[in-house]
Amino acid sequence: QCNLQGFWRNELGSNMTLSALDATGTFMGTYHTAVAATNKQILVSPLQGAQQHPGTKRQPTFGFTVQWQFSDSIAVFVGQCFVDRRGKETLETTWLLREEVPSRRDAWKATR
């Protein structure tokens, strides 16, 4: 069974640390990105998430939101945890990032 709790690193060098899931499947943690479209100092940012059907699925789906501390944007990630035959856990995720824009007219360029 896949366990989301712990330290995770991606192929670009970003990393996150996730707390243990509570009884409802929610968790908290921190995310430190290695890539950003800003000149500001990159800061560790808080995240909150949930795992679907905690404790009952071998390769569960999950989602979390990162509240960036160094920009006017927020990101959401959804994914699934996979366990290979050797027991290695891998997270496969997709993300969306929404930046603040000055007006509704600019909304079309606010999401990556």
- Entry pTM: 0.90
Q: Which residues contact 24 (CB under 8 A, 6 or more apart)?
A: 50, 54
The domain in which residue 97 lies consists of 6-109
The answer to the question of residue 96 being in a domain is yes
Number of domains in the chain: 1
pLDDT digits (tens, 9 = 90+) for 51-96: 998 777 789 999 999 999 999 899 999 999 999 999 999 999 999 9
pLDDT at 15: 96
User: What CATH number corresponds to the domain at position 102?
Assistant: 2.40.128.30
